[in-house]
Structure formats: structure tokens, C-alpha cells
Amino acid sequence: MDLKQSPLLLSYERAYQFTNSGSTYHADNSSKNRFTIQLSRPIAVPPHAKNVMMKCLYASIWNTSPNITVTQTFHIEKTNGTTYNITVPVGLYSVQDIQDVLSRGLESHGLSDDYIELVPNYATQKVIFVFKDTSTLLLFDDIRYQDTSQLRTLLGFNAREVGPVSTPYGQVEGDTAAQFNQINSFHVGTSLLNGGGIRINDNESSTAAIIPINNAPGSQILFSPFNPISLSADHLIGNMISTVKFWITDEKQRDVIMTEPFEILFSITFLAKPQD
């Protein structure tokens, strides 16, 4: 509020930080990506203000939204009828993470940790199963088993039997590219933009910031744009806002599961006479 823009109007800037934790925070759904914050001191813009703009200055979000959202199972069967089940819990997985779960499960059944291996084919973006034994197959069967569809889709396999192979250490490649990267960016929406904000194709959905995912799974993303986007917020003029809603979605506007705290810092700037 100290930058003079003209003989008649001064430029004011007010900063606000919000987070989905603390006593004033209320989760609006089980995924915790939609939340409401009650303010004891409302956000207020004077009634004679002009050129009200909102900018996202900083945001912190953890790259932990699961790509397996429902518990899945590796159903393994041998041609002699022996079966093994290995559970894959809800989580955010890479190829190596899935391999680790598979290896531990195999060892728990008395098999070697390389009895079945996952190998990425970076040229085709597909995953390859390597079977040490010629009498073993994986059952990615949506009809017989309801807990394999997410897992097989993640790995790039159709609903089918994978294996057996004709020779030891035989390979079976996925039918399609693996889909470990379920989210490309996080979109932060807020009721403060009242339907405006960043336009996504033909949709104005109150998006205040788009946060690219450039960190490894399980790590924290610190978003601090060099030139923050200025978004029109003239609808705040003369209003007092005591309830603020936020929501985090992916680039397709789908809800994401939030497992860690999120915070955002933004500013509201406007021009007004000194007495306002």
C-alpha cells in the first residue's frame, strides 16, 4: 500500500495464506482435496476500488496422490493349480515400487524374489513381465477378479492371462503403454475467483494456479512463479468474504486424493483513494 500509481489513486496489496490444516479448516469430501476455511476477519475490498487483481505467489503441495486408489491383487496361478495372492495397497507407485511389492509377496510365499520380475521398456513405454518358471501365469481377469483392473491398467495390460512362457525367464510385454503418470499437473481452484480465473480450453472454473508435477513421487512440490499470472477479481469490490473454498484437481478437473497438507499464498491488489 505504499506504491503511488497516480495523483488520485494508490496501489494497495494484501497477502493471504491458506492451508488445509488448522482449526478453521473443514474438509468437504473424503479425498480432502476440497476444503472450506472460515475467516474471523473477512477479506474486504473497498467499494470504490478499481482494477482488483489476484495473483498466486506461492504454493506447496505433496506429490503423493495415489495412482492405485483401491487395493489391488496380483493373482498368480501355476499350471498344477497352486495359487498365490499378493496385495498391492493404495499408494503412488513407480515400476520399481510395484516390483518391490511383488518381490516381498513372492518371498512371503516361499518363492525367490525374482520369480516374477517387472522390467520397463523405455523405448515403447511398456512394462515387461519376466517369468523364471514356465508353469506360472498372472490372472488379469476382470470377470473372475474385481481387484486387478487398476493394477493391469497401470501396467498396460488388457484383461487376460499373462503367461505361461515357453522357456525359463521368458518375457511377456504389455499390450499398451504403462500409465503410472495419472496426473500431469495440479489445478488450484477457489471461490474467490467466482467462476473466472485461468481459462481451461472453453471452461472458466475459478482456477487460480496450475502447478506442474516436476518432482519425484512422494516429494514436495514448491511452486513459486517468476511472473505470477494476474487474474481479474473486480467482483470482490465492496464485498466482505468470510468463507473461502478451495479445491485441488488434476488437469482434467478430476478430484485428486490429498494425503498431505497443502498451502497457498496469494495477493489481492487494487487501486483506491487514500481514504478508502
Map out the domains of the chain as residue ranges: 3-65+183-272, 72-173
What confidence tier does 1 reach under pLDDT thresholds 50, 70, 90?
Answer: very low
Residue 2 pLDDT exceeds 70: no
Residue 90 pLDDT exceeds 70: yes
pLDDT tens track for 61-74: 999 999 999 999 99
Q: Is 119 helix (H, G, I), strand (E, B) or coil?
A: strand
Residue 244 pLDDT exceeds 90: yes
Is residue 90 packed enough to be buried (19+ CB in 10 Å), middle (13-18) or exposed (0-12)?
Answer: middle
* Closest residue by Cα to residue 183 from 30, 65, 90: 65
Phi, psi of 186 (to 5 degrees): -100, 130
pLDDT tens track for 109-124: 999 999 999 999 999 9
Confirm if 69 and 183 have CB atoms less than 8 A apart.
no
Return the CATH architecture of domain 3-65+183-272: Sandwich (2.60)
**pTM over 0.85, yes/no:** no
Cis peptide bond prior to 164, omega within 30° of 0: yes
